[in-house]
A and B are shown apart, each in its own frame.
Chain A
Amino acid sequence: MKWDIKDAESWGWQKHPMGATIPEAGNADYYKTGGWRTQKPVRDEKKCTDCLLCWINCPDSSVRVEGEKFASFDYDHCKGCGICAKVCAPKAIAMQGEGGEE
């Protein structure tokens, strides 16, 4: 991270960038949204055909691809919306409860 925001919560008004801009690209990566999830997608590699419909449709870019094949889910950012499971043609993705109170 080129922008040191460790103690940003205590910054005075003059230290913040003008107009609440963030002088760094791609920083949403630092914000782990996986904790919002109540269900997580789980892939059955025997059924998966690597068609990558899940990767195309994931609104949070949480499907990792390597060599044009499914590699893994990014559980740090996946919010568990279930779109990947819904669009999966060979029904290789199932949503599993994260546990805790229903």
Chain B
Amino acid sequence: MAKTVAKAKTVAMTGNAGCALAMKQINPDVVAAYPITPQTTIVEEFANYVANGQVDTEYVNVESEHSAMSACIGASAAGARVMTTTSSQGLALMWEELSIASAMRLPIVMHNVNRALSGPINIHCDHSDSMGARDMGWVQLFSETAQEAYDNTIIAIRVAEHEDVLLPVMVLHDGFITSHAIDRFDVLDDDEVKRFVGEYTPKRALLNIDEPMTFGPFAMPAYYYEQRKALRVALDGAKDIVIEVSKEYGELSGRAYGLFEEYKLDDAEIGIIVLGSTAGTAKYVIDKMRAAGVKIGLLKPRLFRPFPSAEVASALSHLKAVAVMDRADSIGALGGPVYLEVKAALYNSAKRPAVQGYVYGLGGRDTGPDQIETVVSDMQKVAAGEEAPREAVTLLGVKE
């Protein structure tokens, strides 16, 4: 393990190009993917690397995302290091394979560039696609910036393939906002990434003819339940491995990541919870409000599955009021998915803040500082005890 931080190489590229570069540096054995906006430029760029002979990857052209994930499952079961990418309807078309990939304990790494689910059909950002897949047994790592999307891709390989995890990992970043905007960020040398991810030597592989093995058999009621318990334990355990691998990556890259990021939260009275690119806007608003004397901070979840409930509850315990902002609605429920997780995490804590839920930015609706300022002003009233936290979720920026 390198003790010295690697020399930074600064690039200017889109988030998607950064993800494609990370894939090139990882040099997976197999990539099976189908293009879908806004993920397309990742596979386009990666296909160039394949065509130019810059990677050794077997690139499988498939006719749909259903086939893409099926091919990934087959290749991973065969013993290959496998990656793919998708968005929105593509992820939806992978649905039945998503839970098979995790149940078969296959360390596939997939970018999902967040885009609203149809309908109406829409190509822009919200988190309804990957939030819908939150119970599929995949590790989910959210990224705020192109830097984080690049770093999370490399970290995801090590998390997925860790002996105690062996689960698929989904790396998320915001469609168009992060995927298509050119950002300045630092990348590692090819050799450093190669050393960090290492060789993948699977202990279970269909192509190991010396130890023949059946993958994906039928499990009757006497066996199914135990498999699901094993899956829960493995996914819960992925939390510690995310911490461990992120720490090692931090020593190499100089960029430290935890389960979530806390921004000016230590002495805050009001907290905002938001993941993805809008966390950047929230930081801007927090700085502005801090200058005006408002004690406010941010908690930005990075690892959403497994959800670090105890750690989140502890990080929020000193606050008076917390606003949870979701870029996905869970219609028919009390509010969005992050809101539900946070509220559930706090319920049995003796010391807990009041919590109010917001949905924002569905289908790519812009969420500017003004909307977040509205949230802060609401929360000041809740923190001061002037208003009880609202039971119903508030849809920010919707036209009444």
Residues on A close to B: CB < 8 A?
A: 8-9, 11-14, 16, 18-27
Contacts and interface: CB of A to CB of B under 8 A. Distances in A.
Residue of A13, A16, A27 contacting most chain B CB atoms (<10 Å): A13
Contact of B214 (A9, A14, A16, A22): A22
A19 B103 contact: yes
| Best-surrounded residue of B222, B227, B230 (most CB of chain A within 10 A) | B230
B211 A13 contact: no
Contacts of B227: 13, 16, 19-20
Given A9-B222, A16-B223, A27 B214 contact: yes
Given A18-B166, A18-B204, A19-B106, A11 B226 contact: yes
Contact of A19 (B215, B225, B233): B215
Given A18-B230, A20-B216, A24-B212, 16 more contacts: A8-B222, A9-B223, A11-B226, A13-B226, A13-B230, A14-B230, A16-B223, A19-B204, A19-B215, A20-B103, A20-B219, A20-B227, A21-B104, A21-B204, A21-B213, A25-B212
A86 B230 CA distance: 46
Nearest to B218: A20
Interface of B: 103-106, 166, 204, 211-217, 219, 222-223, 225-227, 229-230, 233
Contacts of B215: 19, 21
Contact of B223 (A8, A14, A27): A8
Contacts of A27: 214
Contacts of A9: 222-223
Contacts of A14: 230
Contacts of B217: 20-22
Nearest to A10: B222
Contacts of B106: 19
Residues of A contacting B: mostly? loop
B232 to A, nearest CB: 9
A86 B167 CA distance: 46
Of A9, A11, A21, A23, the most chain B CB neighbours within 10 A belong to A21
Given A18-B105, A18-B166, A18-B204, A23 B213 contact: yes
14 contacts: A11-B226, A13-B230, A13-B233, A14-B230, A16-B226, A16-B227, A16-B230, A18-B204, A19-B104, A20-B216, A21-B104, A24-B214, A25-B212, A26-B212
A20 B223 contact: yes
Contacts of A25: 212-214
A16 B224 CA distance: 10
B262 to A, nearest CB: 35
Closest 9 CB pairs of A and B: A25-B212, A19-B105, A13-B226, A22-B214, A13-B229, A9-B222, A19-B104, A13-B230, A20-B227
